[in-house]
Chains A and B, each alone.
Chain A
Amino acid sequence: MLIGDYKATYAADEAIFRSWPVRYGFAAMVAGLVLLPFAANSFIVFLATQVAIYTVAITGLNILTGYTGLISLGHGALVGVGAYATAILANWLGVPFWVVIPMAVAVTAGVGLMFGLPSLRIRGLYLTIATLAASFIIVFVIEHWGSVTNGDSGITLAPASVFGIDLVSDPQKYALIVPIAVLAVLFAQNLFRTRIGRAFIAIRDSDYSAEIIGVGLTRYKLLAFGLGSAYAGLAGSLWAYNFLALLPTQFELQLSIIFLAALVVGGSARTLGPVFGAVFVILIPEMLKWVFGFLTPFNPTIVEYTAPANTIAYGLLIIVFMIFEPMGLAAIWTRIWRYINLWPFSP
């Protein structure tokens, strides 16, 4: 157990893994992630990979919406930009994934910056509406720019390949995607230990005070859009290499709403929020499928209601969380964690 946590030096107090439970917790998580593909069946590995991709996307939304306070309804479409940029660049250039991914990230960051420009003039609800428009525009372009995107029929790409081995099985793709996701989360966590992250939060909490202390709103709002979109681009790239086939409809408004739901339920402005949120939104449909599968013998038509049931479940959970735990699952986790740290003394 661990009572209080006084540090001898300020460097130790500022460290990312401040106490031994956190250090061991992180080590255990990494060990778990390494062992998972050996212990679990291929479907679980597939779900875990999807959680990783969603985590990257939601981490980007967390930077933009959770920390900087700019609510975006265009994040799903930006993931689409990243995914399509990946497929198109890989097909055109025939270069390896580690060249394609940074390019796709850069393209998405550029597109995101463009759609972030209105944030310099408008804010709040109006900005959200502008991002909603961005979502429609992006999906429209993907659908109708057939010569490049292949339009409604979707696009395919060759698998990522490492030392001549094509990454096609679920464990192989897991091995590529999950480490990248872990690094992306750590990168974001580090941002919020420095002036950059603090400036974002300052803008969210009081943009006028932020200016008074010398934070340039133009620069930092665009930076938040750029970074958030870069994460969306990375998530899209990983998505492309995971599924190897894309459809424009996958990146419609529904996806953006799922990301926002995940952020609220997982816990916004918390490092682990996007992780919990991603687990949550990936598992809900699986659990519903299981329930519906169980009910089908009694009522065969019930399967038709799977999709609306998902949407209703997301909606209900957002409401429940906003009312009962606005800080999300991450806050519940913190309480459990504190309890473990203080055990056997009751907190």
Chain B
Amino acid sequence: MARRNRGPRLFRRPQSGVLAIVTTASAPLLRAEGIELSFGGVAALKSVSLDVQPGGITALIGPNGAGKTSLFNVISGFHKADAGRLIFDGTDFTNLATHKRAALGMARTFQNISLFPGMTVLDNIKLGAHTHLKTGVLAAGLFWGPARREETELRAQIEREIIDFLEIDHIRKTPVSMLPYGLQKRVELGRALAMRPKLLLLDEPVAGMNREETEDMARFILDLQEEWGVTVLLVEHDMSMVMDISDHVVVLNFGEKIAEGPPQEMQENPAVIEAYLGAAQDAA
């Protein structure tokens, strides 16, 4: 696999083209306005606002416990915000039921992988396409014409677009519980892709991965954005990856947004450096 052996910086994004899209003042694909969330008195999010521009890769960074995952959970509907508004592609979905948010065109992966362990890789990915399928109970049980056709087409599409793309053809029939961590993360991305999302929320997609796996994942994310036109919002701790692939960075600290802007600027922003240094000193 020749593509694997790339130097550490080869997944750097091209500096032209895509950036231009982001700098134009188009309507955001996702907008969160004044999100508040507390867990029994502990404020996890304090009036956080965030815009995700279509076509770009936005990174959400901040020290551990800053509230990044909590914000994802509010967006995907696991937590209900105490205050604030959520808008996707012009639609207010603040009060939309969790399972209906998939149909809007949002998909996510989890910091601690949340696959369906009893199923194979293929079935996990097929589940991502759930909202795009129509087969009802009777057609399913009889497995007649339309049901059969739908399943066959789904399989062909997944093979063509996802299994090939993520280079997981060798494990398609393996139960996910038997896969190593790095591959599970990749399968989880595959399941999210099968949802054919407009926006992909990735919570620490390379956490716990080795260098090579990290590079593969970064390449997948870049390809997704460039070839599939998917907008990405990602939480990441690997700073070199954030600097390399994102075109907009939002920084959270103690549940508050402390800065946002292009990656280079954030790297030099005193408040950001302070937050990370503070966190490092606390940990030490």
Contacts and interface: CB of A to CB of B under 8 A. Distances in A.
Given A14-B151, A213-B195, A194 B140 contact: yes
Interface in B86-142: 97-103, 107-108, 110, 114-119, 123, 126-131, 133, 135-137, 139-142
A202 B128 CA distance: 10
B257 to A, nearest CB: 24
A194 B99 contact: no
Contacts of A196: 135-137, 140
Interface residues of A, number: 34
B273 interface: no
A198 interface: yes
Interface residues of A, dominant DSSP: helix
Interface stretch (B63-71, B152-160, B212-220, B231-239): B152-160
A227 B140 CA distance: 12
A195 B131 CA distance: 9
Contacts of B159: 10
A84 to B, nearest CB: 25
Interface of B: 76-78, 97-103, 107-108, 110, 114-119, 123, 126-131, 133, 135-137, 139-143, 147-148, 150-152, 155-156, 159, 191, 195
B77 A211 contact: yes
Interface residues of B, dominant DSSP: helix
A246 B284 CA distance: 74
A114 to B, nearest CB: 19
A146 interface: no
A204 B118 contact: yes
A206 interface: yes
Interface of A: 10-11, 13-14, 16, 187-188, 190-191, 193-199, 201-202, 204-206, 208-217, 223, 227, 269
B137 A191 contact: yes
A193 B99 CA distance: 22
A16 B148 CA distance: 11
A206 B127 CA distance: 12
A194 B143 contact: yes
Contacts of B155: 10-11, 13-14
A16 B143 contact: yes
17 contacts: A191-B141, A194-B139, A198-B123, A201-B116, A202-B116, A202-B127, A208-B78, A209-B110, A211-B98, A212-B78, A212-B98, A212-B108, A213-B191, A213-B195, A214-B100, A215-B127, A269-B118
A213 B128 contact: yes
